[in-house]
Amino acid sequence: MNNKLLVLGTIAYDAIETPFGKTGKILGGCATYIGLAASHFTSQCGLISILGGDFEEKHLTLLKEKKLDLEGVEQLQEEKTFFWSGKYHNDLNTRTTLETQLNVLTKFEPKVPEKFRDARMVLLGNLDPNIQLKVLAQMKQQPDLIVMDTMNFWIESYRDKLDELIAKVDVISINDEEARQLTQKHSLVEAAKDLQAMGPKYVVIKKGEHGALLFHGSNIFCAPGLPLEEVFDPTGAGDSFIGGFTAYLVQRKKINFEEMKTAVIVGSAMASFTVQEFGTTALEKMTFLQLAQRIQAFKSLTEFDIELT
């Protein structure tokens, strides 16, 4: 068994608007958030992504300082980095994509470095399902766990390929809106059942500030959202969640429902940092001790005694 975690996703520039302000171009992308979160649990996390010539050296340095392996990250000097901009509405749970510039992503042919072809776990971040499938096809042996994420952008236009991918993964992590869109079921319990029937044994449905649900057969676990005084920017919360979730599991011997429950709490704690500042700032600064304290806060939040006589 090794502790290697292979992560596919975008490394991007984002521009974000929330009720609290607006950013210029800042570092983003699902692989960035996932990698920053995962770096707290494994020093063997390899990213697969693509950058344009405009990607700044200081951002590459940041990823390297977090000990993320960038051998699988290609840079095309004549192209521009993937760009996404979005605007959050007043409740911060809903957002509108203002612009998606695929840029360098249209030229992306993912190459898994030899040393990561036997990775214990593979995390397929939100991307074109064709690319997600190409990464899986390069693995030399079946990983212990394959986790995937997706979003409305891919659900709407790439449904057949997406279904092919969903059939091959062990865990799908999506938000409530996406679960309903994929299954056409309003009840999340029914949606999770349908998703399990499509392939994944485990289904995680994220509900923004209201926490996350984990489904496995007839088992359900519900993680709360930590009530926070200040939420500035939800971007990357889902990616930080899944990065923390999977990286926690990669250093555990067993993979079962009990371990997954802890992983959901770790992921939720990780995401609770991300949302407290714009972009990756809070996640970059977070220490392992702060994470541990927040996990404790999650425990206290949900612990109660009850006696019915």
Would you tell me which residues interact with ligand AMP (CB under 6 A)?
10, 12, 14, 28-30, 84, 100, 126-127, 151, 153, 235-239
The DSSP secondary-structure symbol of 33 reads: H
Contact at 8 Å (CB) between 48 and 8? Answer: yes
User: Which residue, 153 or 257, is less far from ligand AMP as judged by CB?
Assistant: 153
Least distance in angstroms from the C-beta of 88 to ligand AMP: 10
Alpha carbon distance 145, 142 (integer Å):
8
Residue 160 vs 307, nearer CB to ligand AMP: 160
Locate 200 and state its tokens. 């994944």
Residue 199 phi/psi, 5-degree rounding, is 150, -60
Minimum separation from the CB atom of position 127 to ligand AMP (A)? 5
Number of H helices, E strands in the chain: 11, 14
In this complex, which beta carbon is closest to ligand AMP, that of residue 9 or of residue 46? 9
Closer CB to ligand AMP, residue 213 or residue 255? Answer: 213
- Rounded CA-CA distance 111/90 in Å is 40
Report the nearest approach of ligand AMP to the CB of residue 306 (Å). Answer: 35
CB of 42 to ligand AMP, least distance (A): 20
| Residue nearest ligand AMP (C-beta atom) | 28
C-beta of 154: minimal distance to ligand AMP in Å? 7
Bridge partner residues of 21 (DSSP): 18
Name the minimum Å distance from CB 112 to ligand AMP.
18
Q: How far apart are CA 64 and CA 245, in angstroms?
A: 21
Helix (H) or strand (E) holding 84: strand 83-88
**Burial letters for 276-288: b for 16+ Cβ neighbours within 10 Å, e otherwise?**
bbbbbbbbbebee
Nearer to ligand AMP, 139 or 151 (CB): 151
250 alpha-carbon distance from chain centroid: 15
In the complex, the smallest distance separating the C-beta of residue 136 from ligand AMP, rounded to whole angstroms, is: 17
Q: Please say which residue, 255 or 282, places its beta carbon nearer to ligand AMP.
A: 282
Alpha helices for 18-143 (secondary structure H) = 30-38, 57-65, 129-137
Q: Between 16 and 195, name the residue whose CB sits nearer to ligand AMP.
A: 16
**Cβ contacts of 302-309, under 8 Å, gap ≥ 24:** 302/224
